[in-house]
Chains A and B, each alone.
Chain A
Amino acid sequence: MNESLISIVAPLEGDTTAAVTAFVEETVAVLRQLVTHYEIILVDDGVSAGTVNGVRALLERYDFVRFLRLSRHFGEETAIAAGLDVAIGDYVIVMLPNMDPPSLIPEFFERARGEADIVYGVRMHRKTEPLWYRAGARLFYWYINSVVKAGIPNDSTQFRCMSRQVVNAITQIRDPDQYLRLLTSYIGFQKEALPYAPINRTGEPTVRPKGEAVNLARALVMDHTTHPLRTVLWMGVVIALFNAIVVAVQGGELHDALAFLVLSVMLAFVGEYVGGLSRRMRDRPAYYVREEHTSSVLLREERRNVVTG
């Protein structure tokens, strides 16, 4: 039995009581075999009232469960950041209850105790996802890794185990947008990939809605690099030159329309970056905590089981 303290950070959004309960049950069973001390931090990022009650019931059944309720829905990435801020473990493991199997916790932990400071999960396959989603993912990873070289591993998920040193490094970055996968790439340290097949507790489709997926891809790219900005600016210069030449040679109005289009595109990109800047300038907390609940187990399970009639 290892003496380390493991923290599990799990953001909850659309999760059902059944899924969260199964997740906590399995996780507790695994952790009890693995380490002497642990905690499970469930971050409420906008779950239903039913699930809130479900989690409260879990607090009365299992020790060392914490329920951090954010003041509103802030998004998965911010919910994870909030969990990392309050986690006390020597090792912190981030998991999405619906898709990450607790049975893999020992493997993540063992590898993190070895050479790696960060062990991150990678999807073995995306077979269950629709074609458009897979194509989009391919395009995204090609761009972010081959073109701008951000170093977000292909098909990496949120499932990851980090040492205390890594968690301290990440939580020191106070950015309104806390994209764990970007921050992980930024801070460096020794990383190791762990391929796995995600599960699906609810049976609902696991792909993000189109708008959200596109927005996440945009944010991940633009938070990391100014490459798109430079690309469109240079594109503008080239097109303007081309335009000037064409007009000089033969005159005409079609080219003006083309130039206007390019200008609009440039403005859109510049706007995105200026927007990002202004968001950072506001310098306000990335999230607010409404309340925190912790376990209150009156009768431990062992004793519960022997109580009769």
Chain B
Amino acid sequence: MIQLDAVVVGGGFYGARLALMLGELGHRVMLVEREAELMARASLRNQARVHNGYHYPRSILTSLRSRLNYARFIDEYADCVDRSFPHYYAVGKRMSKITAAQFTEFCRRIGAPLSPAPAAVKRLFDAARIDSVFEVQECAFDADLLRERLVRELVAVGVTVALAAEAVRVETFADGRAELTLLQNGSEDRIEAELVLNCTYSRLNRLLSNSGAAPIPMKHELTEMALVEPPLELNGAAVTVMDGPFFSLMPYPSRGLFTLSHVRYTPHCSWHDAAGAAIFDGDALLTNRASRFVHMTSDAARYLPAMRGARHIDSIWEVKTVMPRSEQDDSRPILLRRSAEHPALVTVLGAKIDSVYDVEDALRKLLGVDTPALSLRA
């Protein structure tokens, strides 16, 4: 039996940051990760895009928050972001939910820098299908560099990191403290803590349901992003075609390649966690799927003919989790919810890497960190 102040389950970017925050406040913290290293799952297998608001023309609030967090993120992690490439946003003509004029006005309202793309870049696009092309300011993060830095910081603060360890379930003592069962090297350990943070992203409901708590309504998608060598004509630029069933080509610094993702082809299938039903294990889908790279490039080449020259190197597969209501309106709310069944268990979900600041603020508020004791007990 180990006694701690807090256990953070899930060693992705959010989990590591929150463990760090609690450690810096002077608490004894353990960070638990199922994989062999931190940031090995969704924090690694994504677009690596640091959002600067452009992506959410249907939610001004999300865009404004994005803008604030973007500046803070690229300032704090200047050594982990790649800002060396130009990024072009092209607005589609048919099937687009926004026109070029509306996009310009939207960027003006949220104060996001926007300028017309150079003529040589515009010529690369099919004028019959693309309304207009803009140059924006948006960068990519390097997940490997982020991980290295977080590990250094966690060690410095004295957070215990348990790798290849799986949090099985949470139980609650009569006094309200939590007991977490941890499976590591085939044996079970028990940890007592004032606070357990569930930062397991696509596996949130797995831990909740194993602990006898009601699942939170979530939608999951099995996603594929193709890792490609981009066509030479693009000269290392990132391209996003919006706003509808289009595609994005973004640098993926940790592999020295680009990700090609497509709104229509990246999600292979989706499912919902329903109360009362068994929680479906999405990880079972991650292997042996046929790639949709050919579909992605066949469509992308209709807008940007040079995309025919993209070379498929590999694909990254991941289970993406969203709150169902944020699908329609572009909003990317964060979730921070205390379990009704286990008062010391708090579930955390964000959508974008830079929303971590919003999550930290919300957690500080929930804990009332001005008080020295870390307890949610009434």
Contact = CB atoms under 8 A, between A and B. Distances in A.
A295 B222 CA distance: 12
Interface stretch (A13-21, A82-90, A130-138): A82-90
A88 B295 contact: yes
B298 interface: yes
Contacts of A256: none
B302 A88 contact: yes
Interface stretch (B40-48, B264-272, B309-317, B336-344): B264-272
B191 to A, nearest CB: 35
A294 interface: yes
A5 B95 contact: no
A273 B101 CA distance: 35
Interface string B91-103: 0001100000000
Given A85-B94, A86-B95, A294-B264, A5 B128 contact: no
A298 B269 contact: yes
A108 to B, nearest CB: 19
Contacts of B128: 171-172
A39 interface: yes
B245 interface: yes
A247 interface: no
Nearest to A90: B298
B35 interface: no
A37 interface: yes
Interface of B: 94-95, 128, 245, 264, 267-271, 280, 285, 294-295, 298-299, 302
A89 B298 CA distance: 7
Given A172-B128, A292-B245, A64 B269 contact: no
Closest CB pairs A-B (n = 3): A296-B269, A88-B298, A88-B299
A66 B295 CA distance: 12
B169 to A, nearest CB: 26
Nearest to B128: A172
Contact of A289 (B95, B264, B269, B298): B95
Contact of B270 (A36, A289, A292, A296): A296
A90 B267 CA distance: 23
B239 to A, nearest CB: 17
Contacts of B280: 298
A297 interface: yes
Nearest to B302: A88
Nearest to B126: A168
B269 A5 contact: no
B186 to A, nearest CB: 29
Contacts of A294: 264, 267
Contacts of A36: 294
A193 to B, nearest CB: 28
A295 B265 CA distance: 9
Contacts of B269: 295-298
5 contacts: A37-B295, A39-B295, A88-B302, A292-B245, A296-B268
A85 B128 CA distance: 11
A294 B296 CA distance: 14
B75 to A, nearest CB: 39
A194 to B, nearest CB: 25
A88 B94 CA distance: 14
A98 to B, nearest CB: 27
A69 to B, nearest CB: 13
A64 B265 CA distance: 9
Interface string A258-290: 000000000000000000000000000000010
Interface in A64-105: 64, 66, 85-86, 88-90
Contacts of B285: 298
B295 A5 contact: yes
A309 to B, nearest CB: 16
A89 B299 CA distance: 8
Given A5-B294, A296-B268, A298-B285, 8 more contacts: A5-B295, A37-B295, A64-B295, A88-B295, A171-B128, A292-B245, A294-B264, A296-B270
Interface in A290-309: 292, 294-298
Between A36, A88, A289, the greatest number of chain B beta carbons within 10 A of the residue's beta carbon is seen for: A88
B95 A298 contact: no
B298 A5 contact: yes
Contacts of A297: 268-269
Nearest to B294: A37
Interface string A148-160: 0000000000000
Between A90, A171, A289, A296, the greatest number of chain B beta carbons within 10 A of the residue's beta carbon is seen for: A296
A265 to B, nearest CB: 41
B175 to A, nearest CB: 43
A163 to B, nearest CB: 14
A85 B294 CA distance: 18
Interface in A101-141: none
Between A292, A295, A298, the greatest number of chain B beta carbons within 10 A of the residue's beta carbon is seen for: A298
A85 B129 CA distance: 10
A39 B296 CA distance: 12
Contacts of B95: 86, 289, 292
Nearest to A172: B128
A218 to B, nearest CB: 29
Contacts of B268: 296-297
A289 B267 CA distance: 21
Nearest to A285: B94
Between B280, B285, B294, the greatest number of chain A beta carbons within 10 A of the residue's beta carbon is seen for: B294
